[in-house]
Chain A
Amino acid sequence: MEERVTNVLLSGVGGQGTILASDILCSVFHEMGYDVKKSEVHGMAQRGGDVTTHFRFGKKVYSPLIKYGEVDYLVSMELLEGLRYINWLKREGKVLLNLQEIFPPAVNLGKMKYPEDIVSQFKKYFNGRVYPIQGLNLAIQCGDPRAANIVILGAFSTFFEFPEEVWERNLLSHLPPKIHELNLKAFRAGRGAMS
């Protein structure tokens, strides 16, 4: 195993399931033999505020927080929440964006504008390494808009050559049986969107 620690920053809006997605990442990478650490801020996450999770894996991980500017993968469940962390990426970083917009209060009130062209702003710096995904639409097609996080997780899984079985088993172990089928579909839809 290489010495280097890999840094994944997941961002989104409270209620989008960012934390669940990062829990699954933790188990998958741990099962694949890596040391893992994950850190998040709880408490107000359910109240529609922004949510970020730092997930790190490697041979030995010390800090639970990623160093600013050292993100290898930015995985965002929402466009604005992706843009907010653009400066955190390394030069050669990769960006996975769910093409979903959720308006924050200042935009709802008509006081500020929701930023335009977020995908092209990313492309300007990370051309060829920006992966926009219709997470919400795919989730709706699978049967439930709430599975968008799992679509994105599925897309993210294609960056690693782990057996699909490991991903899917760990996915299901975090979910109640009655939504297993839906989430498997969503996960596979996400993988499909990257091929």
Chain B
Amino acid sequence: MEKILQGNYAIARGAWEAGVRVACAYPGTPSSEILTALSQEYKEDVLTEWSPNEKVALEVAIGASFAGARAMASMKHVGLNVASDPFMTVSYTGVKGGLVVVVADDPSSHSSQNEQDSRHWARFGKVPMLEPSDSQECKEFTKLAFELSEEFDTPVLVRTETRVAHSFSPVKLGERKESHTPLGLDKKDAPKYTMVPIYVRVRRKIVEERMKKLEEFTNEFKYNTVEMNDPRIGVITSGVCYNYTKEVFPEYSYLKLGMIWPLPKKLISEFSRKVKKIIIVEQLDPFLETEIRAMGIKIFHGKDVIPNHYELSPEIVERALKGKKYKPPKIRVHTEGLPPRPPNLCSGCSHRALFYAIKRLGLFTFGDIGCYTLATAPPLNAIHSTICMGAGVGGAFGAMKVLGKEGLGKCCAVIGDSTFLHAGIPPLMDIVYNKGNSTTIILDNQTTGMTGLQEHPGTGYTVTGDPTHRINFEELARALGVKHIRKVDPYNLKETMEVIKEEVERDEPSVIITVNSPCMLHRREKRKFEHPFYKVLTEKCRGCGLCLEAGCPAISWREVTEEESLTQDGHKRKGVVQINRLQCPGCGLCSQICKFEAIVPGEA
């Protein structure tokens, strides 16, 4: 049977067909749907979990593999940075049940804090890597990855990127086959699984031998394919880049690599002898190019013309390879000048209310990663640094270290609930342990909002919707030694500003937790607002625009005509604001901001 599947769903299907027993992940675009699919569609056969972070996800998968099960951990590119510690060493121990790590790159940073080329991990960790180009290959390669993992006693990386992970194409479905490896632990395996120096040295050599065997294997690997067409130009490529290039230059010859590490050197040499000129088309870094040049093969075009940043597209490949001969399509309208439509916090979002308070207090905010990072955009402009998950908490502490008492009342750290549990606990511990005085605000919207509403240890539910222990942020902070813990309802602007002000001025560590502030898109939890919506008393509105500073999508400004140029009480105005009733959930922030009592509750 054939079905249209998203790349991530196809990976899930491949893992299921391969008999995967355990799948762990921390959400991250564009990888999240892999675990969603496994936990919804294959939950009878697969034990799935949202792990607190990627390092834990991989460690749980490693344990399952050591106990004989086929196991998988999936994550976005930066997730593998977090999981890199276990990753680099599980390469030495190898596996018992097949172990697959899926890593999803995000060229052009559609949804990420940086742009990384995960292929380097394969070389760095000495681990084979497969790279599918569409959904069918996503399924096939994931299945194969489990077999290779057991055959060569190695973890196997499967690398995708946005246009593979989030594209849909037909997939031929197969049946599930359980793996033959028996479940169980054996103490005799200690030298293989215990990486202390004497055993490390033994395994270190085995890793090199394994990579040699894999190189022999990949020269014959059926998914490293040669298509001979015009022998004048041979393209070496992989993944989605093959599709882009094939689209615009169907007449060229191709060597498409399904396994991109280790490289099939013999196959590459043979191909390069069959064609006159070699072109390498790859996204991001010159990974293949560097290796192939080092083999002494002459390269006609590679990163000299193909950009090494942002995602590629058929147009970019065509433009790069045709050079001066490229004819761009006709420009009808200069669309760069059109009003942009960046993503925004939803109307009614509790993050908006909280960041409006911070903006009014004029603090420097060490931000973190999540929906709330959107508060950095105008008009809120209320986040002033963002590095990686957890970095804000330590960052504010570091700044306060050097600013001393001068810094009091001037800065804070802000972190989402999911992000706090992912990487915020150790830095909070550090603040207390090393006698800091910074303030950490935990934005508890009871879900992992940014990546599509996943559960986490603070929501009280597992990935399959089972109720479970729910972390209490207050108790947790107390256990770390924080003495000043405050709770605020962010929709109460005055109180929120007072609490934040008190805590940032306090010369001791403090934590502020938002309460009753679930994500507006939450399926289970809903904040009940007092009024169904708010409306503007146009006769009173002075058009000062203060309410617009909150950036609510439901509020807009319009110019007024001569007739309307005075308020009821005779104040001159250039315009007024209006509230789109369909978009307003009635959070009431704007009415608290307005100084002229011009925004009032509406009745249903």
Contacts and interface: CB of A to CB of B under 8 A. Distances in A.
Contacts of B341: 13, 48-50, 80-81, 104-105
Contact of A67 (B314, B331, B559): B314
A62 B169 CA distance: 10
Contacts of B342: 49, 104-105
Contacts of A23: 168
A129 interface: no
A27 B169 CA distance: 10
Contacts of A113: 339
B274 interface: no
A124 B558 CA distance: 29
Chain B interface size band reads 35 or more
Interface stretch (B244-252, B416-424, B439-447): B244-252
A121 B556 CA distance: 25
B295 interface: no
A124 B243 CA distance: 34
B338 interface: yes
B247 A62 contact: yes
Contacts of B248: 67
Contacts of A47: 343-346, 371, 374
B18 interface: no
B14 to A, nearest CB: 18
B163 A44 contact: no
Interface in A67-95: 67-70, 80-81, 83-88, 91
A141 interface: no
Contact of B247 (A38, A40, A48, A67): A67
Given A37-B168, A69-B328, A108 B553 contact: yes
B29 interface: yes
A116 to B, nearest CB: 12
B314 A65 contact: yes
A108 B556 contact: yes
B333 A43 contact: no
A48 B545 contact: no
Contact of B111 (A44, A64, A67, A107): A44
B318 to A, nearest CB: 7
A1 interface: no
A163 interface: no
Contacts of B551: 105
B240 interface: yes
Contact of A41 (B110, B328, B556): B110
Given A30-B4, A64-B240, A106 B314 contact: no
B27 to A, nearest CB: 10
Contacts of B168: 23, 26, 36-39
B331 A39 contact: no
Contact of A65 (B244, B371, B379): B244
Contacts, number: 172
A159 to B, nearest CB: 21
A35 B247 contact: no
Contacts of A64: 134, 163-164, 167, 169, 240, 243
B105 to A, nearest CB: 14
Interface centre among B134, B343, B452 (most CB of A within 10 A): B343
Given A62-B243, A65-B244, A67-B314, A83 B338 contact: yes
Nearest to A61: B169
A49 B330 CA distance: 26
Contacts of B313: 63, 65, 67-68
A46 B521 contact: yes
Given A39-B167, A42-B166, A106 B332 contact: no
Nearest to B3: A30
A38 B111 CA distance: 19
B315 interface: yes
A42 B339 CA distance: 21
B400 interface: no
Contact of B333 (A39, A86, A114): A86
B548 interface: yes
A107 B242 CA distance: 41
B7 to A, nearest CB: 9
Contacts of A63: 240, 243-244, 246-247, 313-314
Nearest to B333: A86
Nearest to B331: A87
Interface centre among B318, B330, B332, B548 (most CB of A within 10 A): B332
A43 B454 CA distance: 12
A162 interface: no
Given A37-B168, A37-B169, A43 B163 contact: no
Contacts of A81: 341
Contacts of A70: 329
A107 B243 contact: no
Contacts of A46: 346, 452, 521
Contacts of A49: 341-344
A106 B342 CA distance: 10
A44 B373 CA distance: 12
A82 to B, nearest CB: 11
Nearest to A38: B168
Interface in B320-349: 328-333, 335, 338-346
Contacts of A85: 335
B190 interface: no
B30 interface: yes
Nearest to A113: B339
Nearest to B548: A109
29 contacts: A26-B4, A37-B134, A41-B110, A42-B166, A42-B452, A43-B29, A43-B451, A46-B346, A47-B346, A47-B371, A61-B169, A62-B244, A63-B240, A64-B163, A64-B243, A65-B163, A67-B247, A70-B329, A80-B339, A85-B335, A86-B332, A86-B335, A105-B341, A105-B551, A106-B340, A109-B545, A109-B548, A115-B338, A145-B582
Identify the 5 closest CB pairs spanning chains A and B, nearest first: A69-B329, A43-B111, A49-B343, A47-B343, A110-B557
Given A65-B313, A87-B331, 20 more contacts: A14-B343, A30-B4, A40-B166, A43-B110, A44-B110, A47-B345, A48-B341, A50-B341, A63-B240, A64-B163, A65-B314, A66-B314, A68-B328, A70-B329, A80-B338, A108-B548, A109-B545, A109-B548, A109-B557, A113-B339
Interface of B: 2, 4, 29-30, 110-111, 134, 162-164, 166-170, 240, 242-244, 246-248, 313-315, 318, 328-333, 335, 338-346, 371, 374, 379, 450-452, 521, 545, 548, 551, 553, 555-559, 575, 582
